[in-house]
Structure 1
Amino acid sequence: MQRRRCNLLAAAIDGSSGVSSASGKGDGGNRAVAKEQMKSKNMEKKKIGSLKRVRGDQVQYRCNMISFFSTMQRVKEHLTEGHLELLQQTPFWPLISAFYSGAISEDQCKKSNTDIGNIIKCYNAETMGFEFGTTSASLTTEDVAEILGLPLEGQEVRQLKGKQKHISDFTKRYFEEETLLLKKMVDDALDAAIKGKRKTDVEDVARLIVIELCATLLCNTNHVVSWNLVKYCDDLENISRYSWAKAVADFLHESLGKRTRKSNGYSVPGCVVVIMLWLCESTNLIQPIKGREGQKPAIVKWSVWELHFKLGEIDVADIGLSF
């Protein structure tokens, strides 16, 4: 991805490097040349900025399955029965176990940001549905629960975004000096907790894995982790009281609504990959992976990459014919 971005920028520079060589005599000629060179440089900057934005339009759909997949690959050999027992008590275990057991492969974590962008353009913020030609279809909380294996019933999760630091014994152990929490800091804390010998380390590993899951897949807001999210994940005793399916669905719909209302906005936080999985589950565009037809959560049944190739064969408006 980085190499391709560099190639694009190089192409932009090469394409705009033909600066006019017109010159004149004396200061007037020099000023003319300087003016022409400045104009060319400005055009070059504008062109490069435009290319960056095009790439940004593709890459800033922030849900990242491969990130959590990589986290589980890194730590699963170090997880003890104590860790797994605590994780099984969380509402996220069906999803975590899919990554832990290998039911979700690296290939299943691949997604096309172009596909996601095209589908998101069909979102109607007023109806909270997707319009494919004459067909309107809605991604519901029930769909999110079925696809991700999250609880449908429970108390409402209030305000997952928040900059005010959550202070607890847990955050003091790992993030005492931090005011802005980055994903890299959570990665480092998880590595430290797994190697740790304190009594609290076993519970902290469970907390940090849940934070990783939410921050990279379910309620992704780029590299910054919300302190409100940390607050919910810190409380392992009460974390199962909430409807996490509704929290994930509401977070995504809010992000989609803001995106479609902004003329210059393209950054969409939230679990955007669930949109593609919903298309797999709700249409006849592709078939489940052979042998997984009845497995749950539904995320393990589908190859989003296979959907990518199917979408390349049809117009976006024709998706409505597959419901």
Structure 2
Amino acid sequence: MAQLEPGPICHSVLTQQKPHRSTKVWKESHRMNEPLRCCRYDSAFWDSKLQSDDRIMTYIRLAGFYGVSRLGCIMLDWPLITAMVDRWRPETHCFQLPFGEVTITLQDVEMLLGLRVDGLPVTSSFPKRTSEECCDTCHDLLGVRPDKESISGASRLVITCLQNPTPLTKHSTDKDVQRMARLRIMQLLGGMLFPSTSNNMVRLCFLDLIADLEGASEYSWGSAVLAYLYRCMCKATMKSASVIGGALILLQLWVWEHIALFSPKMLSFPADLPDRPRGARWSGERCFDDVANHVLKAYRDQLDHMTCDQFEWRPYGDNLDEYPDFCKAGEVIWMTKSPLIMYEVVEWHLPDRVLRQFGKFKQPPPANFDTEPKLHKIDGRGKGCADWSLRHEKYVREWEKRQENVVRAVADDDEDRRWEGEYDKWFELIGRRIITNPVHRHARGFMPLASKLEHLTRVIHDISWMARDELEKNTDISEEHQGYIAINETCVEALKLIGEEKRLESRPDLPIRPSDDADVADDDGDAPPRARDRHRDPADGPQPRRGGRRKKIRVVEGAAAQN
């Protein structure tokens, strides 16, 4: 019997499958159980004494970082983050789950972290400074003077230099308070919002944007955080990656909000929750008794068998009145299809691929869109003095039109549900639905079963339709006829028993390719040959020859798919 096809069958969308880490997981899932190392350096920020100083918090609020500063300290789950990176696609900036595409949006950033999303792009020129001048700037704006060895390339500062500042006293001046506020913001920026994989460094270019604390609030820090997280996840999808940076707390909070399979049970919430962003509710007392916790194989297995009804499309509800203003100020651009900018980093925000996350909207197969992977080759190394606002001028201009580029969605009125079938057929062709290979045997620990169950479900579905076809060919009452009826009824009952009866509505025309550890793309990167088509109508044309390469499948997408 044929083996499970992980996808994609058609490579028109997932053009980078060969170097993607899911290819390696499929081939070596019984050995790839080490999670990515997740970078984060914000422990010093959550010092309770500094958190309680109202003088500092006044200026942090003025700069636009009050919401995220009240998030609370939440530990990262490395295996959970790794399991989600397995499903992140640089081609679409979406996670591919078995039922379709989902992603982290500007709405999630503003709701969960309380960072402004509708504002100026986080980019500018960075004046050329010597190491000595950088030390002077740090002293003037932060109140600490690092040694020259703590300055890297006159553009980055070792974040540990910010861990033990001189404490404020009741006699401290307003200038001292502002310095401490900037230092705390720099701890947030370098430790939690933009942590890099190279070392525990923070960019000195941020100092120019927060020198004027009131002016700092005019920038779209939320979109910059999302751009950098997208970039870090894209890089981490490469087979060779072993470490990941970016605002990983945002990714984890997003998972807990949208996927109840992994979210802990909350035993208590912070007392002042109405004054905090949505993500702060997860900083209370948590219990993981009934969910998988810190086990990569378990996370992958549950995601492999996840269904559409297990994803919470609208966790924040439709009534946003209960949330503070900093969680909803940018609602007008939550659905903008625009480039997100953070200095040298540019990544596209594509809400048209996940319309169901914004309301009761129809989700047609989205049109192909070039996320410009070439942008990943641009980094800030050796370009400390570059003026990225000029280098990325066309993207800055596109961001300025963010309100004009808001996606217009069509409401789902429950009367015409054809879009569901169109989307499902499209995703069946282009999606990478399964991560774990069912042929692998694990020597110890958790034993994944979801991909095995998926394979058996498809085989039963296939057998059911084979029996139906035979019944249509021969209507004579005979023992053979009765046997086909019994086979079909048995298959139908089996699918109903496991809640998969919806599959019976469509014919299993998509191939299930025989393979073991081989992946979807062969060695030269081409799409694999299609399995033999079953029960073909002669009007469909001649049978494809066996062996060799087949022509690639053409998938109609976007507006054309709706006609």
TM range (shorter): 0.5 to 0.7
Tell me how far 1:263 sits from its aligned partner.
Answer: 2.7
3-state SS of 1:201 partner: helix
1:93 to 58, 63, 66: 66
Alpha-carbon shift at residue 94 of structure 1 (Å): 1.6
Separation in 2, partners of 1:193, 1:159: 32
What residue in structure 2 maps to residue 150 of structure 1? 115
Q: Indicate whether 1:266 and 2:242 are aligned.
A: yes
Aligned runs of 1:100-115 on 2, under 5 Å?
104=72, 109-115=74-80
Asked if structure 2 preserves the Cα contact closer than 8 Å seen for 1:115 and 1:311, the reply is no
The residue aligned with 1:280 is 256
Aligned equivalent of 1:200: 175
Q: Summarize the Cα distance change of 1:73–1:263 in structure 2 as closer, same or farther, 3 Å threshold.
A: same
Among residues 98, 103, 106, which one is paired with 1:138 in the alignment? Answer: 103
Looking at structure 2, the residues matched to 160 and 263 of structure 1 have their Cα atoms a distance apart, in angstroms, of: 34
| Structure 2 gaps, min length 5 | 1-31, 312-563
SS where residue 68 of structure 1 aligns? Answer: helix
Q: Is the 8 A contact 2:40 2:191 kept in 1?
A: yes
1:246 is matched with which residue: 214, 223, 226? 223
Aligned to 2:39: 62
What is aligned with 1:227?
Answer: 204
CA offsets 1:60-81 (integer angstroms, 9 cap, x no match): 3113564532xx325235x2x4
Question: Per-residue deviation at 1:228?
Answer: 1.6
What percentage of residue pairs aligned between the two structures are identical? 19
Q: Which segments of 5 or more consecutive residues in structure 1 lack a partner in the other structure?
A: 1-53, 99-103
Match of 2:233 among 248, 256, 260: 256
Supply the AA of the counterpart residue of 1:283. I
TM-score by length of 1: 0.67
- Kindly indicate whether residue 191 of structure 2 is the aligned counterpart of residue 216 of structure 1: yes
The structural deviation recorded for 1:145 is: 1.1
Q: Aligned pair in 2 of structure 1 residues 308, 167: CA closer, same or farther (>3 Å)?
A: farther
1:128-147 per-position Cα deviation (integer Å, ceiling 9, x unaligned): 01112232211112211111
Q: Is the partner of 1:225 in helix, strand or coil?
A: strand
1:84 and 2:63 are equivalent in the alignment: no
- Give the secondary structure class of the aligned counterpart of 2:213: coil
Q: How far apart, CA to CA, are the structure 2 residues paired with 1:202 and 1:217?
A: 22
Quote how far apart the aligned CAs of 1:301 are: 2.0
Q: 1:301 aligns with which of 266, 278, 281?
A: 281
| Count of residue correspondences | 254
Q: Residue 184 of structure 1: CA displacement?
A: 1.0
- What letter matches 1:318 in structure 2? H
CA 1:167–1:64: 2 relative to 1, 3 Å: closer
Deviations 1:288-320 (A, max 9, x none): 736759844111222696579624565222345
Q: Deviations over 1:24-43 (max 9, x none)?
A: xxxxxxxxxxxxxxxxxxxx
The CA RMSD over aligned residues, in Å, is 3.5
Task: Give distance in 1, aligned partners of 2:220 and 2:200.
Answer: 25
Q: Select which of 80, 91, 116 maps to 2:81.
A: 116
Residue 155 of structure 1 and its aligned partner are, at CA, apart by 0.6
Q: Alignment partner of 2:122: what SS?
A: coil
Aligned position for 1:171: 138
CA distance in 1, matches of 2:292, 2:128: 39
Q: Tell which structure's C-alpha radius of gyration is larger.
A: 2
Task: Quote the offset at 1:205 in angstroms.
Answer: 0.5
**Greater CA drift, 119-128 or 306-315:** 306-315
Secondary structure in structure 1 of the residue aligned to 2:101: strand
TM-score between the two structures when normalised by the length of structure 2: 0.40
CA separation in 1, counterparts of 2:217 and 2:184? 15
Secondary structure of 1:95's counterpart equals helix
- CA gap of 1:243–1:281, structure 2 versus 1, over 3 A, is same
Once the two structures are overlaid, the 10-residue window that deviates more, 244-253 or 276-285, is 276-285
Check whether the contact 1:160–1:229 (CA below 8 A) recurs between aligned residues. no
Aligned ranges 1:30-69 → 2 under 5 Å: 58=35, 60-63=37-40, 66-69=43-46
Q: Are the equivalent residues in 1 in contact too, given 2:59–2:178 (CA < 8 A)?
A: yes
Aligned-pair CA distance for 1:127 = 0.6
- Relative to total residues, which structure has the larger helix share, 1 or 2? 1
Give yes or no for the alignment of 1:316 onto 2:296: no
